[in-house]
Every structure is written in structure tokens, then in C-alpha cells.
Amino acid sequence: MGLGREAGETKYYPPNFDPALLPKPLSKKGPQQVRMMMPVGVQCLNCGEWIPENKKFASIKEKVEGETYLGLTIFRLIIKCPRCSNEIALKTDLEHYDYNVEYGASKNYQHYKAVEKEAAQEAAKKAETAGDTLAAHNRKVVDATREMSQLEQLEELQHRAAQSSKLTEEQLLRSIAEKHTGTAAKKQEDDELDRKEAEALFSSVQQRSLDNASAVTVSTIGSSSSIGHKRRASDSEPVAEDVGPDVLVVKKAKKEKKKKKKDSDFGLDY
């Protein structure tokens, strides 16, 4: 038997006990201090500190006097900036399931405003194209064509899936082998075509080089024949006679004799 049970059994309740006559505990009607996490990200207007979402704060919770939404109470949450101790107040927004910054900071992002902006842009676009019947018709045709192509692709995929599911293992291996065989045969045909094209190209280049060589030979023969004609025409000119070594020695001795005679005339003796 525990002490807690003994403590509970020692209490005495008289026969005339009335729980309604017990004094009620004092209720806190004023502001309450609660521990909270930031529901939204804000930036302090005093120091520029960024306060992220889900950061813990000790806040003061109080009712907003004179403001309700469909009979529901709107609350105000007051916190202090962790950098400059600036007071920041948040207020519940029951209409948009959100929180609004009342003062002291600016909200980073407001989802309902982005949704409203997107809806306004869509409405403006529809209003612009509402009067243009041709544009609306073209848009419907494009959408229908896209849907039909998507349905065709889906049907094709379903058909392929059904065929593959019905195939046995042997049939699947046979289809893969046939595919590889067809690929190899196609590759061999392509190689054969490339070889034939290369041979034709080389033969044409060789024939062209032979033609050029024959043309050069013909031009060389023509030039040599023209040179021969010129030589025949100049046969009337005097041709130097063949001179032997003895004649050259005699001529050299005569030149030296003439030179000595000339030097002796001027008084030069060697």
C-alpha cells in the first residue's frame, strides 16, 4: 500500500458537504504570458533583423477589443526583437487562416495576397480573350489537339505494356536477338555503301590525276618541238669550231708573247 493511497483515504467529507459552495479560483482576465513559436517570418523595422519562422519567443497574449470574425475572438501576440528589443505585434487573421503584423515589423510573404494576385491576373486574361472569338476557338483547338496526342501516346504505351506482358521468356529473347541481328545487318549494309562510295571517289581522283599527267606530257612535247624548230631556223648562224688542247696552248703562248712585247715597249721588264 502506497503513501498516496493512504493520503487519499484520510480525507474526510462531512454529510452536509456541497461542492458548489467551494470558492472558485481566480481567473486571469488580463494579458497572459505564453511560450510561442513564430508563425511567419518577419523583419524588424528598427534594426532590420530577420526573424525566421518557428523561432521560439516568450510573448504576451491578449484579446483585441472590438474585433471579431463571425463571433470568434481575435488575439494579439506581442514579442520583442532579439537584437534591439523593439516591440512587434502579431494579430490572428481568421479570414485567411494566417497572421498579420500589426506594427514593429514587416511580413516576408503573404500567401493569400499571392493567391489573390494570381486570380486577378487570370481574370484579366480571360476578360481580354473573352471578346476575341477567334482566339478562343484557336485555343480550344490547340487544347483538343494536345489532349488527343496525349491519349494516343497513352494508348500506345498501354498496348506495348500488354504485348510485353503476354510475351514468354523465349519470345522476348527471340525478339531481342532479331533486333540485334537486324541492327548488325543494317550496319554491314552501311559499311558496304561507305566502301563503294570511297572506291568511286578514289577512282575518280586517280583518273583526274592521270588526265592531268597526260596533259602535262603533251604540253612538254609541244614545247620541245617548238625549240627544235627554232634551232633549225638558226642553223645559218656561225658555229664555233671544235678546238683541241694543242691549239689552246699555242693561243695562250701567243697572248703571253704579245703582253711581254707591250710591256717592253713601256719599259717594264720582268
pLDDT in tens, 167-207: 666 776 777 777 777 677 777 788 888 888 888 887 887 78
Please state the rounded mean pLDDT for residues 36-49.
90
pLDDT tens profile 1-33: 455 565 656 678 889 989 888 888 766 667 888
Measured between alpha carbons, how far is 25 from 22 in angstroms, rounded to an integer? 9
**Cα first-last separation, the chain:** 165
Predicted pLDDT at 87: 93
What is the model's pLDDT at position 236? 47
Q: Return the closest-CA partner of residue 31 out of 71, 94, 77, 92.
A: 77
Encode 190-209: b = buried (16+ Cβ within 10 Å), e = exposed: eeeeeeeeeeeeeeeeeeee
Residues 113-126, mean pLDDT to the nearest whole number: 81
Tell me the pLDDT band of 125, cut-offs 50, 70 and 90: confident
Return the beta strands (E) in the chain as ranges: 32-37, 42-44, 50-51, 56-69, 72-80, 87-93, 98-103, 105-107
Nearest of 73, 75, 72, 80 to residue 62 by alpha carbon: 75
Q: Which residue has the higher pLDDT, 133 or 142?
A: 142
pLDDT on residue 239: 44
Q: What is the pLDDT of residues 160-177, one digit of tens each?
A: 877 766 666 677 677 777
Average pLDDT of the chain to the nearest whole number? 77
| Chain-centre distance for alpha carbon 241 | 92
Rounded to the nearest 10 degrees, the angle between the axes of helix 111-130 and helix 133-166 is 110
pTM (whole model) above 0.75: no
